[in-house]
Chains A and B, each alone.
Chain A
Amino acid sequence: MTSASPAKAAAELRPNFLARFFQGHAREVVFTLGRFYRNLGGALLTCFVIGITLALPAGLHCLVGNVNALGYSWETTLQASLFLKDKVTPEQGQELARRIRERPGVAETAYLSRAQSLEEFKALSGLGQALDLLESNPLPAVITVTPAKGIARPALDALVVALGQQPEVEVAKLDRRWLERLYGALALVQRLVLVIAGVLSLAVIVIVGNTIRLDIEAKRAEIEVMKLIGATNGFIRRPFLYTGLWYGLVGGGIAWLLVQGMVFALGGPAQSLAGLYGSGFRLQGLPLDATAVMFAAGVLLGWLGAWWTVSRRLREIEPR
């Protein structure tokens, strides 16, 4: 265009795209943080609501993680029972018990012959003399295997399977039915946490969206002026997006504080309860990855809420 010489001169003064991009965003960061600070009371109130909304699923997640960890710690105190085939002699059984003790992941083994099993059963079951009526001993010889402390669950599973494949072993059993049930229940709660997180994510978007909507209404005149002097929608949108982002970020920080506060408040009683059961269990805070996810969710949802609102509102505001 021949007519655009002054515009062209202005274009030549412009830094390149990348420099413009960073300069523009750096300005908005400073500008929106400044506005956040000047309106600290109201802004923090919004952040607090977001914080509580994020803290609920995060706190639940934290609790589920702790109960899960507690389950693992119980698991290593379990013993696996290897029921041996009847043809295995007591010598072979003791030899097998000794070999198994050598395996990695095994802390201890104990061999119980068929006769010993019967004695034990008589003593424990209270059937006593009644069992004497049996013609032969129906009980198998047993090797009880105590896994090494701190063994991971998949390793333990693999160990039990491997032991079950020994030729002398009829069947290997880890008595963990109730633990499986606990894990099942935890998986359900974990899923529930996800569902709650999903619903509350929508809540965060709506909270931020509504706050930004009021913000936009208050700045209607300003937006009209900006449009009049040639500001693009992207330019007008940017400070609102950053504001939403700050809401989400600070909301994430508040949620983190709330969860850590909960862990701190429950930590003492939980530890003394665990002490009563002879366990050194300690309540753990939100793990690092979950913390990162929580903050990322806050930032993303704040941004999304702002974007959703601004995009709808900006079209309606046109200078007259």
Chain B
Amino acid sequence: MADIIHFHRVSHRYEGTGDVLSDVTFTLAKGEMAFLTGPSGAGKSTLLKLVALLERPTRGQIVVNGQNLAGVRPGQIPAFRQQIGVVFQNFNLLYDRSVFDNVALPLVIRGIGHDDIGRRVRAALDAVGLLGKEKVPPITLSGGEQQRVGIARAIVAKPQLLLADEPTGNLDPEMAREVMQLFQRFNEVGVSVLVATHALGLIKKMPLRVIHLERGQLTTRQSPELMEKTVDFG
């Protein structure tokens, strides 16, 4: 039970393709933060989709937060996803409403009281350094700021697990660094974090585990130095 994510011999294939993931076994401990790396098409996104139940594995077992995903029925998926915060490469904000309303959405979905929503949204925006921007439409913000809105939305409901799929893919290096530091800060207060990323230069300065995928197969590197070699293959 000490694992937040547990993959046991998981394989996945989309219709008409070969295995995108094959025989992947790994765990992410509670409170741990790790990076998921690998070249495009290595299966990083697929792995995250399996965790968030956007896809079901073709073979193998996945346990997330003590719940075997094979036993989660379609009607239970919303409740399951509410335990997870997700951050996207393209932010996936709703541009027809304010920053505040975007961040409030997960709380609204959970039926949190009105007063609590205000308090918690402001706390989340404060945590990402956007407290003064509550009322502005997200489209007026820079990419980095938009991504921070996305992160605030992901953490506002205090999930146990934070998933991020290429969160810095659309950001310049300075903003990307800030975003990664934000993830680290949330990790320090106990949130488990799994970040899929291309930004190897950025993460090698961070003393964290790297889960490396290569053509759907897994190589776990504990140290950033070793990982650098894999970049040459990629």
Q: Which residues of A contact B (CB under 8 A)?
A: 1-4, 6-7, 9-10, 13-15, 19-20, 23-24, 27, 221-222, 224-233, 235, 318-320
Contacts and interface: CB of A to CB of B under 8 A. Distances in A.
Interface stretch (B34-42, B107-115, B170-178, B219-227): B107-115
Nearest to A222: B94
Given A6-B158, A7-B160, A231 B109 contact: yes
Interface of B: 1, 4, 30, 52, 54, 65-67, 78-84, 86, 88, 92-94, 96, 105-106, 108-114, 116, 153-154, 157-160
B112 A4 contact: no
B172 to A, nearest CB: 24
Contact of B106 (A3, A13, A230): A230
B1 A3 contact: yes
A23 B115 CA distance: 11
B110 A10 contact: yes
Contacts of A222: 94, 96
Contacts of B94: 222, 225
B82 A230 contact: yes
Nearest to B79: A230
Contacts of B78: 227, 230-233, 235
A4 B65 contact: yes
Contact of A14 (B66, B67, B110): B110
A15 B84 CA distance: 22
Nearest to B159: A6
A231 B96 CA distance: 18
A228 B157 contact: no
Contact of B54 (A19, A225, A319): A319
Contact of A226 (B52, B84, B109): B109
A104 to B, nearest CB: 64
A14 B116 CA distance: 9
B108 A27 contact: yes
